[in-house]
Copies of this chain bind each other. A is one copy, B any other.
């Protein structure tokens, strides 16, 4: 836990420079635009502790992995998000003294991330060892309007001296990953070009052969007037730069405008990559900083319009939710179906691979409600496009006949994680991918998706479940042995309730979908049966049999679902019994001790109740919540949000709010002392869920928006906008009423606390609510 940022509705503000917070701030103040991302590293040299990070979406390296003893079926590599060539760099010398915040005395310092505008700004005054004082102001953004470009306005003013200021703006491909094995470098240089006011490097990743061209065009003003200069051109092996020295009198402001373009072979032909990058950077410079910035802000404005949540009366909560929404929008924009949402987004290199089940289980709901439906559809198609590889993956593990196991972690559809208890056993991910199809169709009503793509995926996943269970002669039931549930503090357990449940649900949903597609699109259905070699009657019959005879562990005494077989053999003790010094247990306890303990990393049974809520009455939910919540340590960022939604559901508003704050400010307050590694991007969608599905109680039932609103004690009101099947609905919940406005042209039907209301176009309704 580390609270050093100022609380503000729209901004992250760090005042005063504390090197110990710098690495964390580099994560928190990160910028991204869906295609490129950049940690808040300083432009000029910084010799203190820092994690240099600049990432290009979808560009990765298949790193070697080593484990103690190789297991048959392990993947060949671990995909690594790559630190890409540095385009922000501007080294600065004052006379012959290099500017370095680690060596100078930082007299004044302020770092501000304006989330509304998507702009990072730093203002500082520093005294160099020589006693010379300068003022530094830097401002940068990664354009949301044109995702290939970024711009930096970098200003230096001598305060107490006149002298020579030297700028070295550069592009540096001599970079590595902090976590690379044996300091390996992952980039080869393809070509370089350096000229007056510009420099470009094309680098290619080893093995994966992605090319990225990073370049800059810059100009300099002195006291707001463009200044002429004759730079020294610098070129090393993996580095290109200009060096410009300019005489400045006291109080002269020198500003370097650096326009960067970063293009990759994912979007541009390799043969024209350099040319296109040059063109893009030059065009950006021609357009100029202010116009680029205005376009960028306008794009953000539109995004905020649809995705913002406004909270009155609780600035901490407001800042928290905005930070989460900001990061989600920075990370994924939804226009490229080959991209997905990495757990750290563009804020760090940990968790290497890009796609986890987080996308389907947590993120999808956010994009469904806050963006055009093609965005969520692209997230689903990402998996559809990788179905063949999921089938190959299952084959490697001995499954047959078109069964698919989607990877735990992937970049291109291949598994790239290798711990057996995760890779081979955390198979509930397959269920979340099926559930996401349901969730999407249920939300959008887009049943065509099932016809076009969904059914093929469902059949393949159902085949997997059907082969993964076995019939227990002892129990006279189907059982699923050797799995790891969402709670990764249990490995290789038998009959994880959540996994059994989502497997059976998938089998059932697939049968329904088969019936639907067969009836409504018989030709397409024939195509699918042919392509998948579906045994139209035998396979669903077996699935039905499994559904009917699936085993679910249950405690008759407490009337709670059991997380897995044997759970009650554990010593069940609330988390208060864990000494504070031993929390988080994953940093203090050995793995066997964690496994033996009753402590739960993240929602597991509760995750299933969250997904299949309609199958449980409130008492049952409460019993399960009351049994599991006190033994849940929430050491996954994905945990508190689900518990928060469920706490709202059972009317435990205090708990719901506490858990909300924890999820919303997880990174801002650095709960787990690890934000320096990057932010928890995927769990940020969970924060949004805590409000919209938790406090506001949003559900989609029978094609209708439902709400069961509540409001945290501290809040005066909260409001947000939802997209739902072509309509745009604005919701405001105050302490007394719920106000719903239908913002556009289609009538909309909603239910509040199960009472139905029709709202005509451009109309509003207000419903009184009981606030607690």
Contact = CB atoms under 8 A, between A and B. Distances in A.
Interface of A: 65-69, 71-73, 78, 181-182, 396-398, 417-422, 424-425, 470-475, 479, 481-482, 491-495, 565-566, 568-572, 586-593, 595-596
B65 A569 contact: no
A409 to B, nearest CB: 10
Contacts of A425: 592
A568 B566 CA distance: 14
B491 A492 contact: yes
A398 B593 CA distance: 8
Contact of A470 (B473, B571, B595): B571
A758 to B, nearest CB: 52
A419, A492, A565 interface centre (most CB from chain B within 10 Å): A492
A190 to B, nearest CB: 26
Contact of A420 (B72, B78, B494, B591): B591
A contacts with B: majority SS: loop
A397 B593 contact: yes
B68 A68 contact: no
Residue of A72, A419, A565 with highest tally of chain B CB at under 10 A = A72
9 contacts: A72-B586, A73-B591, A397-B590, A397-B592, A420-B592, A473-B572, A481-B570, A482-B596, A495-B569
Q: Which 7 A-B pairs have the closest CB atoms?
A: A73-B590, A424-B592, A66-B66, A474-B568, A397-B590, A472-B569, A71-B591
Contacts of A572: 473
A570 B471 CA distance: 8
A425 B473 CA distance: 29
B492 A595 contact: yes
Given A470-B571, A481-B596, A565-B565, A591 B424 contact: yes
Contact of A424 (B397, B568, B590): B590
B68 A596 contact: no
A466 to B, nearest CB: 14
Nearest to A483: B592
Given A72-B587, A421-B492, 14 more contacts: A66-B67, A71-B591, A73-B590, A73-B591, A397-B592, A420-B592, A421-B421, A421-B491, A425-B592, A470-B570, A472-B568, A472-B569, A481-B566, A482-B592
A539 to B, nearest CB: 20
Contacts of A475: 569
Nearest to A66: B66
A590 B482 contact: no
Q: Which of A417, A481, A494, A591 has the most CB of B within 10 A?
A: A591
Contacts of A491: 421, 491-492
Contacts of A68: 65, 67, 78, 417-419, 422
Contacts of A421: 421, 491-492
A566 B569 contact: no
Nearest to A181: B66
Nearest to A68: B419
B590 A398 contact: yes
A407 B255 CA distance: 63
Given A589-B398, A592-B397, A568 B69 contact: no
A590 B470 contact: no
Nearest to A394: B590
Given A566-B566, A569-B481, A571-B470, A72 B590 contact: yes
Nearest to A480: B596
B419 A69 contact: yes
Contacts of A593: 397-398
Contact of A591 (B72, B481, B493, B568): B72
Interface centre among A65, A396, A590 (most CB of B within 10 A): A590
A568 B473 contact: yes
Contacts of A72: 586-591
Contacts of A571: 470-471
Nearest to A479: B569
A287 B650 CA distance: 91
Nearest to A396: B590
A494 B591 contact: no
A571 to B, nearest CB: 5
A470 B425 CA distance: 26
A421 B479 CA distance: 23
Contacts of A398: 589-590, 593
